[in-house]
């Protein structure tokens, strides 16, 4: 009788210490071919499909779906079998629902639901909101894009650049809470929320404060493409202290997002609005503004430090020449 082999929780990134068994596509006793998906593991809101290295049979599942365990934990036992031919699997019928249609969550949706539920329950959120005037920034952005040189710059590129610079100047923001203490991060990595047809992902732009505006825009574009193609690598996810989530294209004025697990803040960005503000003489003046909400982990940041950071971001975006000179 062949000796069972082990399926271990894989290490899918440099900072990964544990993962969640999102799904066992195979039942105990099922036979599989080489390359078949035998396990789906969640790490930092990304579902990773793990392939069988060779044909065989799943002997025993030791860690059930939904359980988080450290890297290297034995998840199941299997044995190799040569020449396995696997018949097509029949789809399992969803639970009966007389009035409503039930749909199984995708691995990404399930990972997002679990992680954000955990975040809201365990992280003490507080929120700071402000308006940012974009008149000067939009004029400079239009001039730059009209030249047709380099990558077309978006408002999100400029917000991420402003946030990265402010994080470098406010190291208290570039920290996360872990094991009853603070982890002071070495580099400035900024997450970018991306909506995909499979669910919400938040890949991380590494070294965002050290990049030129063109470099930042190019790398963000590549990250977003990989996210939408479900082709993110382990190096694209995890780490960072803050994510930028721009929902302005959906015509929302204010958005108070939930902090991603493992981070300490997230900046929600709304749509640009035309509003009247008084000028120096008190007369109405038409301005273009965007509303932003900074969600913070109160274990890491207090109101004073978080406001200093948010005001810094606003000041840079309202006097934005330095962003275009990067």
Point out which residues pair with 23 in neighbouring strands. Answer: 40
The confidence band for 14, taking pLDDT boundaries of 50, 70 and 90, is: low
Contacts 24+ apart (CB under 8 A), 97-106: 106/47, 106/198, 106/199
- Eight-class DSSP state of 13: S
Sign of the four-CA dihedral 49, 53, 57, 63: negative
| Rounded-to-integer distance, Cα 81 and Cα 265, Å | 49
Across 9-13, 49-53, 192-196, 307-311, least confident range: 9-13
Between vectors from CA 132 to CA 126 and to CA 136, what angle results, nearest 5°?
160
Chain centroid offset of residue 124 CA: 19
Average pLDDT, the chain: 90
Give 53-107 pLDDT, tens digit per residue.
999 999 999 999 989 899 999 999 999 987 655 555 444 555 554 567 888 888 8
Domains and CATH numbers, the chain: 5-85 (2.40.50.100), 124-324 (3.30.559.10)
| Verdict on whether the full-model pTM lies above 0.95 | no
Q: Residue 146: what are its φ and ψ, rounded to 5°?
A: -65, -25
Give 262-310 pLDDT, tens digit per residue.
999 999 999 999 889 888 888 898 989 999 999 999 999 999 999 999 9
| Rounded-to-integer distance, Cα 194 and Cα 244, Å | 10
Could you tell me where the DSSP H helices lie in 8-94?
Answer: none
Residue 41 in this model has a pLDDT that exceeds 60: yes
CA dist 294 → 39, 164, 168 (Å): 37, 14, 17
The predicted structure's pLDDT at residue 279 = 84
Query: Residue with structure tokens 């640009």?
Result: 272
Structure tokens at 191: 């997450």
250 included as an active-site residue: no
Q: Helix (H, G, I), strand (E, B), or coil: what is residue 136?
A: helix
* Residues belonging to the chain: 326
How many contiguous H segments (helices) and E segments (strands) does the chain have? 6, 18
CB-CB neighbours of 126 under 10 Å: 13
| Rounded-to-integer distance, Cα 212 and Cα 190, Å | 15
Specify whether the CB–CB gap between 141 and 322 falls below 8 A: no
């Amino acid at each position: 009788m062949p000796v069972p082999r082990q399926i271990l929780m894989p290490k899918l990134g440099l900072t990964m210490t544990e993962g969640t068994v999102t799904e066992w596509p195979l039942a105990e006793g099922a036979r599989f071919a080489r390359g078949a998906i035998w396990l789906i593991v969640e790490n930092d809101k990304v579902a990773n499909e793990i392939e069988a290295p060779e044909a065989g049979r799943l002997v025993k599942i030791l860690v059930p779906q939904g359980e988080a365990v450290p890297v290297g934990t034995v998840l199941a036992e299997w044995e190799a079998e040569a020449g396995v031919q696997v018949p097509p699997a029949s789809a399992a019928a969803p639970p009966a629902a007389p009035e409503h249609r039930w749909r199984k969550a995708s691995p990404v949706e399930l990972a997002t639901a679990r992680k954000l539920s955990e975040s809201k329950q365990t992280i003490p959120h507080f929120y700071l909101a402000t308006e940012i005037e974009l008149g000067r920034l939009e004029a400079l952005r239009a001039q730059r894009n009209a030249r047709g040189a380099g990558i077309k710059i978006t408002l999100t590129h400029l917000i991420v650049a402003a946030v990265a610079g402010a994080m470098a100047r406010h190291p208290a923001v570039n920290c996360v809470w872990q094991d009853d203490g603070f982890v002071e991060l070495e580099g400035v990595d900024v997450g970018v929320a991306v909506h995909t047809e499979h669910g919400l992902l938040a890949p991380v732009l590494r070294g965002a404060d050290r990049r030129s505006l063109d470099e930042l825009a190019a790398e963000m574009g590549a990250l977003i493409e990989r996210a939408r193609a479900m082709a993110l690598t382990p190096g694209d996810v995890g780490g960072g202290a803050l994510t930028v989530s721009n929902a302005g294209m959906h015509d929302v004025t204010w958005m108070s997002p939930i902090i991603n697990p493992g981070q300490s803040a997230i900046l929600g960005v709304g749509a640009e609005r035309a509003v009247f503000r008084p000028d120096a003489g008190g007369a109405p003046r038409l301005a273009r503004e965007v509303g932003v909400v900074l969600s913070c982990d109160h274990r890491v940041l207090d109101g004073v430090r978080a406001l200093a950071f948010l005001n810094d971001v606003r000041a840079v975006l309202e006097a934005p020449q330095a962003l275009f000179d990067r």
